[in-house]
Amino acid sequence: MTNSEIENAFELLGKLMELHGENSFKAKSYLSASYNISKLNNQLSEISPEELEAISTIGVSVKQKIKELLSTGHIAVLDALLEKTPQGVVEMMSIKGLGPKKVSTIWRDLEIESIDELLYACNENRLVLLKGFGAKTQKSVLENLQFYLSHKNMFRYGEVEQAALEILQQLNKYFSDELNSWTGEIRRYCEVINKIELLTTAPFEEVNEAMQSHFAEMEEVNGCLKAKSESGILFQIYFSDRNDFYKNLFISTGNEKHVDEIRKRINSFDSEIFINEEEIYSKANLQFILPELREGLNEIELALENKIPELIEPKQVKGVIHAHSTWSDGINSIEEMARYSIKLGYEYLCISDHSQTAVYAQGLTPQQVLKQHEEIDALNKKLSPFKIYRGIESDILNDGSLDYEDEILSRFDFVIASIHQNFNMSEETATARLIRAIENPYTTILGHPSGRLLLSRKGYPINHKNVIDACAKNNVIIEINAHPWRLDLDWRWIHYAIERGVMISINPDAHNLIGIHDIHFGTLAARKGMLTSEMTFNSKSSEEVGEYFLERKLNVTVK
């Protein structure tokens, strides 16, 4: 059982206690425990009882329930609450803006027990009759409900990659003489997927038998094996003759437009036997197109002219940019973050804790900024030649200004400018707010431009072209926030950014040691956008990054 699953169990427990009006102190403690578990560096299932007892951020009662969950797969009190709660009511609490108290009102006053009933009630204007609701709240619930339904049964790539890898490894273990591969959206590294697809040449009955212990549910559908994991992840295993494996792998990997256009270029496609996918593109007179690029956009036109570039590789990212520490809402100290970055082979760490307006994240006052810089200066002497750069993630305020006076901003090596509050904006307002921040001479990097949270929040609407153009004009880097819930800048806009000469930085937005590994997900997204190492800011060496930061600061001083 992963920390994510344990975290979700305690979040649900806290919400259900609130829903049923039980001890509010306990409910809050379980919700707090869920948050603290999400910040742990080690998997709870892999540590000793002594190590669990030593975790100071988790209380005694929660530790007992963690042990119960790890040993039995259940928490008795959670099971009891679930037993007296309709499944549809539990599901309602997954909708943004509907906390336990609002759901309780909807359930008890309107006797609504399913998502479909809630949708009907919104369309029939029934929520406005409830105490604490109104036309504006009903409109927000309806919009969030529609967003939820449009993304139901979908998964973020980062949440399912490990499960997909484990099943592929099992296929390779059981059927080492066969051909086995991911396919479909997971093979294209899509940021959101609806199922994990695999292709194998192993016999159906043998795979069916071998996989029984790995899935909660399994069924045969039209010659395919459909399965669901304990955590609800959907799998589909396809079967192929060995002679047709690479043909079927190609067909099942790319989106429909890409596959159709390639097939049209090979007259004998259906009767051909291909020894690998490279041969397919060769016979189509095209440069080989990597799986992650097969989205039916401009990849075929570029391949026709041999213009698909060499894509950024994880090993080419040399530094960790955008990381938080215990100075704001991070779990680890700056030194711990630095030493872990060194262990992973990085040359530098760019610390960017939250700014003063972000009180929800313990943002730094000007006095704290000065003290933090003293600590960083001391650590740079201690950890040399590794370099820690002094930065901040400055909130972009409502009028587009940054969160400190110039005297403080001038002390940072770099500034990441991000919007964290007041998302309810028109496209015109949001775009203007971003552009004003971009035009601030102290802004070095634009953070998560749209503010989206995949499958959870659409983010505010922006005119991407105008924002990217402003970055080009003001020499501002744009981050791909590599957290698997964000992956923002969206990879579909990387090509335009490169066209305009805007560099991209693959930033983990790490709040603990493990968060640094999210650079992996950011790199996969960057590859989908055809990002090269030349246009990746943190593929620069520490010396190059330092020179870049210094030059920008000197330009501000000159102005």
CATH number for the domain whose boundaries are 91-152: 1.10.150.20
Check residue 151 and give its pLDDT: 85
Question: To 5 degrees, how large is the angle CA 370–CA 392–CA 334?
Answer: 70
**Quick one: tokens of 546?**
């330092």
* 127 touches 141 (CB < 8 A): yes
Average pLDDT rounded to a whole number, residues 413-421: 97
Instruction: Determine the pLDDT at residue 458.
Output: 87
Question: Closest by alpha carbon to 394, among 454, 322, 497, 333?
Answer: 322
Three-state SS letters, 320-340: EEEECCCCCCCCCCHHHHHHH
Same topology, domains 91-152 and 155-304? Answer is no
Per-domain residue ranges for the chain?
A: 1-85, 91-152, 155-304, 314-558
pTM of the model: 0.88
Lowest pLDDT segment from 34-38, 319-323, 382-386, 389-393? 34-38
**Average pLDDT score over the chain:** 95
Rounded Cα distance, 30 and 26, in Å: 6
CATH code of the domain made up of 314-558: 3.20.20.140
pLDDT at 414 over 70: yes
- Separation between Cα atoms, residue 157 and residue 557, nearest integer Å: 43
- Ranking 118-132, 299-313, 452-466, 482-496 by mean pLDDT, the lowest is 118-132
Domain 155-304: which CATH class? Answer: alpha beta
pLDDT digits (tens, 9 = 90+) for 318-354: 999 999 999 999 989 999 999 999 999 999 999 999 9
DSSP state of 418: E
Give the full edge-to-edge strand order of the sheet including 196-200.
180-183, 196-200, 234-239, 224-228, 217-221
For 67: left if phi > 0, alpha if psi spans -120 to 50, otherwise beta; the answer is alpha
pLDDT tens digits along 264-290: 999 999 999 999 999 999 999 999 999
Is it the case that residue 291 has pLDDT exceeding 70? yes
Q: What tens digit of pLDDT does each residue of 112-165 get? A: 999 999 999 998 889 988 888 988 999 999 999 998 888 888 999 999 999 999
pLDDT above 70 for 557: no
Task: Tell me the pLDDT band of 432, cut-offs 50, 70 and 90.
Answer: very high
For tokens 């009955």, the residue is 205
pLDDT on residue 217? 86
Structure tokens at 246: 């690479």
CA distance 510 to 513: 7
Token code pair at residue 132: 């604490």
Rounded Cα distance between 83 and 29, Å, is 22
How many helices (H) and strands (E) the chain has is answered by 24, 14
Whether the Cβ atoms of residue 526 and residue 494 lie closer than 8 Å to each other: yes
Average pLDDT over residues 511-537: 97
pLDDT of residue 2: 85
| Poorest-pLDDT segment among 51-55, 255-259, 282-286, 409-413 | 51-55
- Number of Cβ within a 10 Å radius of residue 59: 15
Domain 1-85 has CATH 1.10.150.110: yes
Assigned token pair, 521: 């997900």
Q: So what's the pLDDT on residue 456?
A: 86
- Residue 97: pLDDT band (50, 70, 90) is confident
- Output the pLDDT for position 19: 95
Token pair, residue 19, equals 């829903």
Residue 559, pLDDT above cutoff 60: no
Q: Tell me if residue 169 falls in helix, strand or coil.
A: helix
Q: What is the pLDDT of residues 209-238, one digit of tens each?
A: 999 988 888 999 989 999 998 888 999 999
